[in-house]
Every structure is written in C-alpha cells, then in structure tokens.
Amino acid sequence: MHRVHSGDAVHSKRHIRAGSDKILNEFLLEMKDIKKSFFGTMVLRGLSFAVKPGEVHVLLGENGAGKSTLMKILSGVYSLDSGEIYIDGKKVTIREPMHSIELGIGMVYQELSLVPELNVIENIWLGNLPKNKIGLVDWKTAKRKTREIFKKFDLPIEIEKKVSSFDLGIRQLVEIARVTSQNAKLIILDEPTSSLTKSETEKLFHTIKTLRNQGVSFIYITHRLEEVAQIGDCATVIRDGQTIGKTIYDLSSVSRKDLITAMVGRDLSEQYPKEPAMKNEVVYEVKNLSDKRNFSDVSFALHRGEVLGIAGLVGAGRSELLEALFGSRKVENGEVYLYGKPFVVKNSRHAIENGIGLVTKDRADGLLLHMPIYENVVVSTFKKYEKCGFRLKKKEIKDAEAYKKLLNIVSESVMQKVRNLSGGNQQKVAVAKWNCNETKIYLMDDPTRGVDVGAKVEIYKLINSITANGGAVLMVSSDMPELLGISDNIMVMQKGKVTAYVSAEESTQEFLLEKAVGSEEL
C-alpha cells in the first residue's frame, strides 16, 4: 500500500498545477506540530496535517480524538498554543472566524448555524447582502446569485421561504450553499450527510466533485466509513490528539476493519451487539394516530424489552411522530395505550413523569449546551435530587460521574459545559439524561447521528441494558444497517403512512428502501 505520512509531507518543497495554469504550492494548507490544551488537559499533541489544492481529504477519528478542536483552530474559533499554519505556503496566524473566511476557509458545522426565521436568500448572504449604487440591498442580484448556487446542487428549492419551514436535510444543504457563496478555497464539512437522504447525498457528492475539479479543497469529517472511498482522495486518522500511521492515498487498499482499528485502537469484532428481546407484554400501543399533516393512521405495538426501529426518508413523518408521542406536537386523532390503559399525553413534562423520554435528532433541542454535564444528566429527574426545597448537588455530581463512566463520556469532568464536548459525547449526555430519570420507554430520533463507530457500540450496549431491564425503545434511524442490526422489528414510513411492519431478522436493506421510497425517486 502506497502511503505518505502527513507529518513528513508538510516539509516538501515541490510544486504542482491544480485547476489552472497557475503554479501553486503542493499544499494549500499545512498545519505543523499543532498543540492545544484546555485547563491543563492536552487535546492536540503536536499534530501535523496537510491538504493539497483540489483534494477531498477525509479526516477520521473517534469523538474526542481532536478533530473538532483542530478544525476550530483552523476556522478561528480557538487559538493554538503552539505550532504553525501555512496557507499557499505563507505562514498565517488565524485571529478569528472572519479572518479565517478572508483566508478562503469555510466551515460547515454539524450543528447548523442558520437563522430559522430568515429565508434562504437572507441566510446565504447573512452579513454580506449585495448592495446597489446607493447602498441599498440589491435583492434582484441576491436572488439571482442564490439560484445559481442551488443550480450547482441540482436542488429545486423555494429560496424565499423561511429556513424553519424545511427539514434538517434541506437546512444542511443551505448551510453548505452559504459557505460556497463566500468563495472559499478550502471547505470543512463536519458530518455533512448525517441528515441527508440518498438522493441528497448524491447531489452533495456531485457538487463536491465539481468544486474539487475547479481547484477547491475539502476537509471531510465523517463517521460513515462507506463514504471514505466514495468521496475521498485520501484519508488521515486522528486518535488522542495525534495522527495515526500515514495519510492514506490508496483508499482502495484499506479495509473498513483497518480504519476502525486505527480510529479506536482496538478491534470491534461485533459492530451491532444485540440481545434477544423478551417480547412479552405490550407496554405502549398506538392505534390510528394522526396529526393530519405529517403522519396519519399510524399503528404499532411496542413490547417490554423490544427495540422497534422506524425506517424512512427525510420527510416521512418519523421525527414528527416521536414528537407527538412525547407531547411536543398536537395529535388530532387516534388512541394511545400505556401499559394497557388509555393514555393522553398532555405535554412533554407529563410524558416524562410517566417514564417516556425523547432523545432528539438535533442535540441543541435536547440539551442545555451552556450548562455543565452533571446538570444536563439530572435535569429531567424532578424530585430525586431535592430535599426540603434544597438541591442535593453532591448526589447530582456523584450520579453524573457514574453515567460519565458508564457511557465513556470523554470530558475533563462533569463540571465541563456540554457545548465544549464533541458531538458524539453530547449525544451520550443526551442518553444519560433519560437513563438517570429511570425512563422505561425511550423515543430515540437518530441517536447515533454524528457518533463514531466506537461510541455507537457503546450506545447499542446501553440500548441493550435498557431492554434487558424491562425498558422498550422506539428508534428512528437513517442508517439501514443499524436498523437491521439493533432492532427486533422495523416499521417503515413513507409520506406519513406506515408501508411495512417486519421482523428485522427477515428483512433486507433493499426491502426497507423499496418500502421507504414508494413511488418517489431514490
């Protein structure tokens, strides 16, 4: 296998041509011996990394490996402690995010930063709306340029609609479009396909390849290992703040197992650990449930100890169904039975008090990002940590420490603010919150979205412990292999309707996709 070490490569003085007749440095970006620590904890330990012009460089690693910290240094959010950064061979000191943009670096975060109440045009040109000769906003030019950007994506979209009216997949594409509008020559994509359908992913890949052929470079962060060879020109693995091995330029010669081992430092022999369901009494039953907009006539029975997966494309009504069951969305018709008794959920607090918890797709909706880990873990447990009107803070911290250890949440301590954790570790905190509340019925909306392979296995084991202790899980997932691997039964939804209800053991990816697509195009 032909490989080139990124740490050695950054010292090369050769030149190449990329996208034009202009002679360029071999590397558009060079990061040399980068070190960064937080409160005395070393996060990056002399990491070196380089990207060529017109290259899609895949960056792999577990949550907490240092990927996000490295990219935040590059995008101007964090300052480095020591090391050097070169853009086109010129040493730079990136002072702030705006300076990073001026240097031609664009960052698309996994947790989107759009303004929901503004329309697509306003979000694309936020802070940079084109002006006419007298200084007024030139809306005609803004609309034309916005349409040109989305034409590259081959995505028909109503650019004058509010972003809040679109689902998460479309919002992701709007975020990416905004970065391309800034004429970036290096675009950082953090889990860009985590909420996209197959057709949207194909359009995104087409756009990436088009821009790459024009000389634009990409740093592509993903936990979907099948995407490495699909979109990447090369890949670098980061573990514990350092690059592992050499940058891989021959992606066809490395196996999925090798990548996983390099990322986690151990062999994950069982990717989908699954305990057989007890499947005895029905604990939660839904009959002909409708909200007359997003889903209708949905019926299912969830048994004690069962994982019931929900498959479907973006817009199928899966997330809206979970929100309705949790009391955060109004239901028009239908019946719900909890432990055999009629149950009308009044609101989210009522659901929580009856042992129902929702792990949201968007972690910003389910967590208090500005608060420490321990407060997030205990926030849904109303009376357990209170005595005579006083909070039992020591008990809160002690229990949070136990969940931190159980889920292997990578952090300095439970006092660390959740917003400073990696995406995967934030998701672990979201799961710990309901586990602490002794929740029995878990509604999980893509619980492993943006979580690395090692952390996924830990979450699957947690799901097993939930079901082994008499709990039940209703889980939406966009990952077909995950649904087949961890579910007992799978319900497929398409345009708000249930189109199939099958045993996971007897199903296939092809069957689930066929039922999820229906008459729609893939």
**Do 455 and 424 meet the contact criterion of CB atoms below 8 Å apart?**
yes
pLDDT band at 392 (very low <50, low <70, confident <90, very high): confident
pLDDT confidence of residue 490: 96
Q: Name the residue with higher pLDDT: 468 or 455.
A: 468
CB-based contact 187:106 (threshold 8 Å): yes
Determine the 3-state secondary structure of 101 from DSSP.
helix
What token pair was written down for 92? Answer: 């730079």
- Among 75-84, 89-98, 146-155, 490-499, the range scoring the smallest mean pLDDT is 146-155
- What confidence score (pLDDT) does residue 11 get? 40
Partners of residue 57 on adjacent β-strands: 219, 234
pLDDT-based confidence at residue 17 (cuts at 50, 70, 90): very low
Map residue 180 onto helix, strand or coil.
Answer: helix
pLDDT value for 58: 95
List, for residues 399-422, the tens digit of each pLDDT value: 999 989 887 788 889 999 998 887
Residue 10 has pLDDT above 60, yes or no: no
Measured in Å, how far apart are the chain's first and last C-alpha atoms? 35
Q: State residue 310's pLDDT score.
A: 96
The one-letter code for the residue type at 200 is E
The tokens for 155 are 């995505």
Res 110: pLDDT? 67
CA distances from 153 to 33, 53, 170, 414 (A): 37, 21, 11, 42
Q: DSSP state, 162? A: B
| Contact between residue 28 and residue 87 where contact means Cβ atoms under 8 Å apart | yes
At 111, is the pLDDT very low, low, confident or very high (cuts 50, 70, 90)? low
323-381, pLDDT tens digit by residue?
999 999 999 999 999 999 999 999 999 999 999 999 887 777 778 888 999 999 988 77
Q: Quick one: angle between helices 168-180 and 198-213, nearest 10?
A: 10
Give dist(CA 197, CA 199) in Å, integer: 6
Tell the burial category of 109 from Cβ atoms under 10 Å away from its Cβ (0-12, 13-18, 19+).
middle
pLDDT at 475: 96
pLDDT mean over 114-118: 88
* 235 has a pLDDT exceeding 90: yes
Residues with Cβ within 8 Å of 387's Cβ and at least 6 positions away in sequence, in order, are none
Mean confidence (pLDDT) of the chain:
84
Considering the entire predicted model, what is its pTM?
0.60
Phi/psi at 88 (nearest 5 deg)?
Answer: 55, 40
- Domain map (residue ranges) of the chain: 29-265, 282-517
pLDDT at 13 over 70: no
At residue 444, does pLDDT exceed 50?
A: yes
Output DSSP code: residue 125. T
Residue with tokens 């992913």: 201
- For 44, other C-beta atoms within 10 Å of its C-beta total 26
Closest to 103 measured CA to CA, from 44, 20, 36, 187: 187
pLDDT score, position 232: 94
Classified as helix, coil or strand, 93 is coil
pLDDT value for 382: 63
Helix (H) or strand (E) segment spanning residue 182: none
Tell whether the model's pLDDT for residue 383 goes beyond 80.
no
Distance CA 107, CA 396 (A): 36
Closest C-alpha among 406, 408, 348, 407 to residue 379: 348
pLDDT of 511 higher than 50 = yes
Reduced to 3 states, what is the DSSP secondary structure of residue 123? helix
- Reported as a pLDDT band with limits 50, 70 and 90, residue 153 is low
pLDDT on residue 458: 78
Which architecture does CATH list for 282-517? 3-Layer(aba) Sandwich (3.40)
Instruction: State the pLDDT at residue 495.
Output: 87
Closest CA to 105 of 207, 185, 208: 185
Question: In which element (H, E) is residue 56 found?
Answer: strand 56-60
- For the chain, what percent of residues have pLDDT higher than 70? 89
Q: What is the CATH number of domain 29-265?
A: 3.40.50.300
Up-side HSE of residue 212: CA atoms within 13 Å toward CB? 18
Encode pLDDT of 264-304 as tens digits.
776 655 667 776 665 678 999 999 999 988 999 999 999 99
485 has a pLDDT exceeding 50: yes
Please indicate whether residue 269 or residue 315 has the higher confidence score (pLDDT). Answer: 315
The answer to whether domain 29-265 and domain 282-517 are alike in fold is yes
- 277: which residues sit within 8 A by CB, 6+ positions away? 303, 305, 306, 307, 467, 488
- For every residue of 224-277, DSSP letters joined together read -THHHHHH-SEEEEEETTEEEEEEES-GGGS-HHHHHHHHHSS----SS--PPP
| pLDDT at residue 181 greater than cutoff 90 | no
| DSSP code, position 471 | -
Q: 3-state secondary structure string, 102-115?
A: HCCEEEECCCCCCC
Confidence label for 386 from pLDDT (cuts 50, 70 and 90) = confident
